Amino acid sequence: MALFRTINSPEPLPPIVGDGVVLRTPQMSDHAAWAAVREASRAFLTPWEPIWPADDLTRGAFRLRMRRYAEDLRTDQAYPFFLFRQEDNALVGGLALANVRRGVAQAGSLGYWVGAPYVRMGYMSAAVRALVPAAFDLLRLHRVEAACIPTNIASIRLLEKSGFRREGYARSYLCINGLWQDHLLYARLRTDPNS
């Protein structure tokens, strides 16, 4: 049945273009820009992310990250993207469709981050609006899920503005900044109206 078939393509996904943004698969040549925006945003990102390994921003750690991304893509488990501002190709953040489940689920989990210098400029909203249709059309997902900490008002607004519906509350769902944190659960279905 074609609906439940997986994607087995070693070729990277094409860049996804949105309103003033471009999403594309990370490359080793992105290391310097990625490390710079992550380092400049460390204090901003720390409350919302797992604890960073001590060597997280090094070239060696980035190389391992690229290998993991390649394996995830090859096995249809996750689809990572870096987010670039279209006007000057500045790396402003990243998104991933992870935990891809095929078979009867056809679902994946959306995660994202944006660098502190680029907050509240609409780049992540444009990126999510571009990525969700690609998840449905290119990856043939039926459901895109997302979770956020209840105090992350910006993330809640982003998801709701992007057509995600709140579906529940998960206690101690993810270990964020060294603590098991409760999360609000959201989802967007292929059959939901466009937002």
The whole-chain average pLDDT of the chain stands at 93
Amino acid letter for position 129: R
Summarised one tens digit per residue, pLDDT across range 176-194 is: 999 999 999 999 999 998 7
pLDDT of residue 121: 96
Question: How much of the chain, in percent, has pLDDT values that exceed 70?
Answer: 93
Helix, strand, or coil (residue 173): strand
Least Cα distance to 142 among 112, 109, 105 occurs for 105
Note whether 62 and 31 are within 8 A (CB): yes
Give the Cβ contact number of residue 102 at 10 Å.
Answer: 17
Sorted by where each starts, the structural domains of the chain and their CATH numbers stand as: 13-144 (3.40.630.30)
pTM for the whole structure: 0.90
**Residue 2's pLDDT band (boundaries 50, 70, 90)?**
very low
Contacts (Cβ under 8 Å, ≥6 apart) of 92: 21, 37, 83, 84, 85, 114, 115, 117, 118, 123
Inform me whether the pLDDT recorded for 3 exceeds 70.
no
What is the number of alpha carbons within 13 Å of residue 182 lying toward its C-beta? 6
